[in-house]
């Protein structure tokens, strides 16, 4: 379902005549965005299972499977300290603390930066901030992105919460 929504979105928003080709030869979909959690990497908006290869200097969403991301943290022997259930899985959470309150990032931030974002039990939090996380929202809105039924509302919130009026 999500894959088909991305395909429909891509074909609706971007003309196929100017599309790049993925390494497999299939047409590339939309341009990837920078991954805020892993500097120097890119993610495909709304389709995390897609890869983002460099095609002529830009990164595009391609249906090739990408290697699974492995997030690890150092472990301590159980007899030294009790394990905390509240921790940050990424080392750079503080650099992205503003995204803790972004409606479209709340779910990923809960998994990745629970401690920094104060998502742990008993911690006080502010309400999510209503923001867009890409500068393309105005353009996408003009092309009908906010009203598209094939794009999940959570995906719309992730990228264009303010523009689409979802917060």
How far CA 82 is from CA of 5, 77, 95, 117, in Å, comes to 44, 9, 27, 22
Cα atoms found within 13 Å of the Cα of residue 65, Cβ hemisphere only: 2
pLDDT 10s digits, 84-108:
568 888 888 888 877 787 777 777 8
- How far apart CA 52 and CA 65 sit, in angstroms, is 10
DSSP-derived secondary structure for 35-49: -SSSTT-EE-TT-TT
Q: What is the pTM (predicted TM-score) of this model? A: 0.34
Are the C-beta atoms of residues 99 and 130 closer than 8 Å to each other? Answer: no
Number of Cα atoms under 13 Å in the Cβ half of residue 16: 7
pLDDT in tens, 3-57: 444 444 444 444 433 568 888 888 876 788 887 777 788 887 766 677 888 888 8
Closest CA to 60 of 16, 102, 92: 16
**pLDDT at 120 exceeding the cut of 60:** yes
DSSP state of 151: S
Dihedrals φ, ψ of 72, to 5°?
-125, 160
């Amino acid at each position: 379902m999500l894959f088909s929504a991305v395909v429909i979105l891509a074909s609706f928003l971007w003309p196929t005549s100017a599309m790049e080709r993925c390494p497999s030869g299939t047409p590339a979909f939309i341009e990837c965005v920078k991954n805020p959690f892993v500097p120097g990497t890119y993610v495909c908006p709304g389709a995390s299972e897609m890869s983002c290869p460099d095609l002529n200097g830009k990164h595009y969403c391609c249906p090739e499977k990408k290697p699974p991301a492995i997030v690890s943290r150092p472990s301590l022997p159980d007899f030294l300290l009790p394990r905390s259930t509240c921790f940050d899985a990424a080392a750079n959470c503080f650099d992205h603390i503003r995204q803790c309150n972004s409606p479209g990032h709340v779910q990923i931030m809960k998994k990745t930066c629970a401690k920094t974002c104060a998502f742990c039990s008993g911690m006080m939090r502010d309400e999510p901030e209503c923001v867009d996380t890409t500068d393309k929202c105005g353009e996408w809105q003009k092309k009908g992105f906010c009203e598209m039924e094939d794009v999940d509302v959570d995906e719309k919130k992730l990228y264009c919460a303010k523009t689409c009026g979802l917060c």
